[in-house]
Amino acid sequence: MANKPWGGRFEGKTDRRVEQFTESISFDRRLFKHDIQGSIAHARMLAHVELLTTDECQQIVQGLSEIQAEIEAGRFEFVLEREDIHMHIEAALIEKLGDVGRKLHTARSRNDQVATDLKLWTRDALDRIDGGLVTLQRAFLDAAGRHRDVILPGYTHLQRAQPVLAAHYFLAYVEKLARDRSRVRDCRERLNVLPLGAAALAGTTLPIDRTHVAQSLGFADVAANSLDVSSDRDFAIESASVLSLIAVHLSGWAEEWVLWSTQEFSFLALPDAICTGSSIMPQKKNPDVLELIRGRTGRVIGALQTLLVLVKGLPLAYNRDLQEDKPPLFEAFDTVEACLDLAAVVVEGAKLRTDRINERLDEGYLDATTLMEYLIREGIPQRTAHEVIGHLVGLCEQKGLNRLADLPEEEFSRANPKLGPKVKEQLGVANAVKAFRSFGSTAPEEVERQIGIWCDRLK
Ligand code: ARG
C-alpha cells in the first residue's frame, strides 16, 4: 500500500478488480487544468499563511506547471493504481519534489478539491455555452435581416393560423436563446462560491485563508458551511437543467426545419454541406444534422435525470457516489456545445424558398383574423365578428375558393353591412401583416424596431 497516498493504515494490496471498479481517471483526467489551477491557488495561500515557505511554494508552482505541460503534450502516464486525476498530479509532483511535494495536500481533502475542480471546469464550460448561444443568436438575427420582406404562414397546432414576417419568426429564437443565456448567467453566479478549505467535511485546524484562494480563483464568495459544500452538486444539476432546456429549444427548432425541408412544405433549402445521402436511394438528401440535434436532446435530459437520481437520498457529507457526477455532466456539456455549433452552421447556410412559400400563402385563410378585427374596430362585438367571418370562411369552402378575397362583394355585405367595399383593402396576407399594431407583434415597424434592438445588443 506504500504506493497509495492513503495506504498508511492498510496492510494488504488493493484487489485489481476494486481498482478497476473505483477508478475515475478514465473520465476525470479532463479536469487536469482546473486541478492544477486549484492547487496553485492553494499553494500560494499556504505560503501566504506561512504553512509553506516562499521557496517551497515556488517549487510547487513550477512543478505543477511542468506537469500541466507534460499532460498537454501527451507525455504524462496515467495508471489505474493512481485512481483519479488528483492523485496522479500529486504523485507526479512528489516524484519531482520529494518532501516539498508532500506538503501540497496540507489543509485540503480530495472532497473539497474535487468540488472545486468541478466548479472551475463547469464555470468555464458555462462560459463556452454562453459563447455558443451568442453565435447562434447572431445567426438567427442575420437570417432575420436577410429575409426582411418574406411572409410566412404562422402555425398553431401545426395548422395555418395567421401570417407572420420571417424576421419575426427568426427573432422568436433569438428571444428563447436570450432566456437560455440569462439562465446560464444565473447558474454561473450561484456556482461561483469556493468549496476549497472545507477539507474532508469539517474544515481544518490549520490557519488557512480561504478568501485568498477565492480571490485567486475568481470566486465571488467562500462557502460558509463545510458539511454542505463537500456534498453540494447543485451546480451540476442546475447546469444540466439549463442545458436540457437549451436542448429542448433546439429540438423544437430542428423538428420545425426537418418539416420545412420536406417536399410537402418546401419552405427551406438546406445546403448540401450539411445534408447526407442514402446508401440505397440515390435521390435522397436528408437533414441528418437537424435530426441528430433533435435526437441528442435525449442524452442531455438523461444526464439531468442521472444527476438528480445520483444525489437523491445521499446523506451528508462526501459519498463516493458523487464521483459518478462527472460522466453525465461532461456529456451534457459536450452534447449541447456541439449542437449549438452545428445549429449556427445550419442557420447560416439555410435559405427560405420564398417562391414556394409565396405560391401557397393564399391557402389557409391567414387573413381571417385580421378581417374579424376590422369588424371589431367597426364596433361589432368580438363574438359576433368571429361568427360572421367564420361563416364567410365556410362559404369559401363550399364554393371551393382558396381566398376570402375571391368571394363576391355582395356576400360580404350580406354577412354584415359593415363589410362594405373597403373590405378588399383588409384582405390578402400582405395587408393582413401591415394591419398589426401591438407591441411584440409581427407588425413590420415593430419587427424592424426589434431587429434594431438585437443588432445593438449582439454587436
Ligand atoms: N475521484 C473522487 C471523486 O471524483 C475524488 C474524491 C475522492 N474522495 C474520497 N474520499 N475517496 O469524487
The residue whose grid cell reads 475568481 is: 218
Instruction: Provide CB contacts within 8 A for 16, sequence distance 6+.
Output: none
For the chain, the domains span 15-106, 124-358, 368-457
Helix axes of 32-48 and 210-217: crossing angle, nearest 10 degrees: 140
Is 157 designated active site?
yes
**In which region does residue 380 sit, left (phi positive, over 0), alpha (psi from -120 to 50) or beta (all else)?**
beta
Name the residue with the closest Cα to ligand 1, atom 2: 323
- What would you report as the CA-atom Rg of the chain, rounded to the nearest whole angstrom? 31
Look at residue 265 in the predicted model and tell me its pLDDT.
Answer: 97
- 45: CA distance to ligand 1 center in Å? 23
Please report how many Cα atoms fall inside a 13 Å half-sphere around the Cα of residue 404, on the Cβ side. Answer: 28
Instruction: Provide CB contacts within 8 A for 169, sequence distance 6+.
Output: 152, 154
- Closest to 114 measured CA to CA, from 378, 289, 317: 317
- Asked if residue 303 lies in contact with residue 329, where contact means CB atoms within 8 angstroms, the answer is yes
Domain 15-106 falls under CATH 1.10.275.10:
yes
Q: Could you tell me which CATH class the domain 124-358 is placed in? A: mainly alpha
- 74: CA distance to ligand 1 center in Å? 24
- 145: CA distance to ligand 1 center in Å? 51
Looking at 157, 168, 244, 261, which residue is catalytic?
157
- Residue type (1 letter), 118: L
Q: Which fold has domain 368-457?
A: Ribonucleotide Reductase Protein R1; domain 1 (1.10.40)
Q: What angle do CA 162, 173, 428 make, to 5 degrees?
A: 20
- Asked if residue 3 lies in contact with residue 89, where contact means CB atoms within 8 angstroms, the answer is no
* Separation of CA 228 from chain center: 27
- Residue type (1 letter), 438: S
Average pLDDT, 10 consecutive residues per value, the chain (459 residues): 78 93 98 98 98 98 98 97 97 98 98 98 98 98 95 97 98 98 98 98 98 98 96 97 98 98 96 88 92 98 98 97 98 98 96 96 96 97 98 97 95 95 92 96 97 97
Name the residue with the closest Cα to ligand 1, atom 11: 320
Look at residue 8 in the predicted model and tell me its pLDDT.
Answer: 86
